[in-house]
Structure 1
Amino acid sequence: MKTQHIFTFSLIIFIFYTSIYNALGCDKGDKAFKNLKIQTAIAEYSDCLKHTPDDKNLLERLGDCYLILDNYALAESYYEKMVDKTKYFQPVMMKYAMCLNATGKTAEYDAYVQSLLKKFPQNKSVLKLIQQWHSTQQSSNYEVKKVLFNSDASDFSPTKMGSKIYFSSNRTLDKKKDGFTGLGYAKIFEFDSTTQSVTPVFTEFGRYNIGTPVFYNHGNEMIFSANEKSKSKGNSYLLKLYHSKKEGGNWQHPTLLPINFKNANNTHPCINDDGTIIVFSSDQIQRNGMDLYVCFKDRNGQWKPAQKLKAPINTLGNEVFPSFIDHQTLVFSSDGIGSPANGLDMYMTTLQNKNWSNPIPLSPPLNSKFDDYGMSSDKEMNSGYFTSNRDQADGTENIYHFSRTDTILLDSIIYEPIEEIHHLISGVVTSDTIKISGAHISIFDAYGNIIVDTITDDLGSFHLPVTESPYYTVVAEKEGHHRSSTLILLQDIDKENGVSLHVEMPTITKGDVFKLDNLYYDYDKWDVSEESIPELESLYDFLSLNPNIKIEISSHTDARGNDAYNLKLSQKRAATVVNYLISHGIFKDRITAKGYGETQLINHCKNGVSCTDEEHRENRRTEVKILSVQK
Structure 2
Amino acid sequence: MQKEKNEFFKVKNFSKKINTEYHEGPATFTRNNRRIYFTRNNFKKGKLIFSDKKVNQLEIFVSQLIGDEWTEAELFTINDKNYSIGHPTLSHNQKFLFFVSDAPWDGAMGGADIYVCKKLGAKWTQPKNLGPKVNTKGDELFPFFHKDGVLYFSSNGHGGLGGLDIFICKHDGYRASLPININQIYPINSSYDDFSFIINDKKEHGFFASNRLGGKGGDDIYYFEKDESALIKLKGFVYEEETGIPIMNAKLVLMDIAKGEKISNTKDNGKFEFLIEPNKDYQLVVSKLDYKTKKIVYLSSDYKNVEEPFLNIPLEKGFWLHLEGKVVDEITREGIENAQINVFNKTYNLRNAYTSNLKGAFSFALDPDCIYDFEISKDGYFTKNESQISTYGKRKTETIYHEIVLALRNLKMGSSFVLNDIYYDLNKWNLRSHSKLELDKVVKYLKDNPHITVELGSHTDSRASETYNLNLSQKRAKSAVNYIISKGIKKNRISAKGYGETKLKNHCKDGVKCTEEEHQENRRTEIKVIGF
Task: Name the one with the larger helix percent.
Answer: 1
Same fold (TM over 0.5): no
Please tell me the TM-score bracket, short chain as reference: 0.3 to 0.5
Instruction: Provide the TM-score with structure 2 as the length reference.
Output: 0.40
Higher relative contact order (CA 8 A, sep 6+): 1
